[in-house]
Amino acid sequence: MTTDSATVDTFVGPLTVISDGRSVVRLEWHISAEATDVTGPILTEASDRSDPIPTAAAAASDPILVEAVAQLRAYFDGRLGDFDLPVDFGQISDVARTVLTTLAEEVPAGTTVTYGQLAEASGTGIPARAVGGIMGLNPIPIIVPCHRVVAGDGLGGYSGGLPGHELETKRRLLEFEDALPQPLF
C-alpha cells in the first residue's frame, strides 16, 4: 500500500494525516525533539509558519490528502465542526469498526457522549469499558472524534496528543468545540 502524508500545525501540536489515495488511514501527532522537551511549551497557538503541504505530485495523485488537509485547517480555524472524509480503520474488529463509525456519524461537534451511551448507540452489546479500549485504538483521532467520548463522572482518558499532554489535549479540543461537560469546569 502506497501512502502520502502531510503535516498541519495546530494548537494541540503538529498533526500528520496519512492517506492511501482512497481514504484517510491515520492521523497522528508529529513528535519532534522540540515537542518532547518537557521544559518548553507544548500546547500553544498554531504557529504563523506555513504548514507543510503535499508535494505537487502527491496532490495530483491524492485528492483525499489535499481535502483532509483543507478540512483539518478549516476545523482548527473554527470553520468546520465535523469532517466529511472517507476513512479506513485498517485491521480492527467488526465491533471496533461499528463503535468508531457510530461515533463519527452520531456525535457531532459541540456534543459529548459517555462511554456507556456510545456502547448502547453502537448496538454491539459491549460494555462501556470496552468502548474506552476501542477509543484508545482509534487510528484517526480528531477526524473520528474520540475526544468527544467522556466518562459518566469526568473527562475519562485520552491517548491522543503529545506525550504527557494527552488529557490536556482532550480538554482543549472539547473547550474549542464548546463541549466540555459542565461538571468538569
Domains and CATH numbers, the chain: 4-76 (no CATH), 94-184 (1.10.10.10)
> Which tens digits make up the pLDDT trace of 66-94?
999 999 999 999 999 999 999 999 999 99
Q: Is the pLDDT of residue 183 over 80?
A: no
Nearest to 181 by CA among 154, 145, 142, 146: 154
Is the pLDDT reported for residue 110 higher than 80?
yes
User: pLDDT digit string (tens) for 13-52?
Assistant: 999 999 999 999 999 999 875 544 443 444 444 433 344 5
Nearest to 62 by CA among 28, 90, 85: 85
Strands 4-8 and 113-114: unpaired
What is the residue-averaged pLDDT of the chain? 87
pLDDT band per the 50, 70, 90 thresholds, residue 57: very low
| Model pLDDT for residues 112-162, shown as the tens digit of each residue | 999 999 999 999 999 999 999 999 999 999 999 999 999 998 899 999 999
The verdict on whether 146 is a catalytic residue reads: yes
C-alpha count within 13 angstroms, C-beta hemisphere, residue 72: 31
Q: Which residue has the higher pLDDT, 173 or 184?
A: 173
Contact 8, 71 (CB under 8 A): no
Burial label, 41 (beta-carbon count in 10 A; 0-12, 13-18, 19+): exposed
Count of positions (residues) in the chain: 185
With cell 463522572, the residue in question is 153
Residue 27 β-bridge partners: 17
Measured in whole angstroms, how far is the alpha carbon of residue 151 from the centre of its chain?
18
Which residue among the candidates 146, 162, 173, 180 is catalytic per the annotation?
146
pLDDT at 31: 85
* Cα separation, 167 vs 156, whole angstroms: 8
CA dist 73 and 120 (Å) reads 32
Rounded CA-CA distance 61/4 in Å is: 9
- Percent of the chain at pLDDT above 90? 77
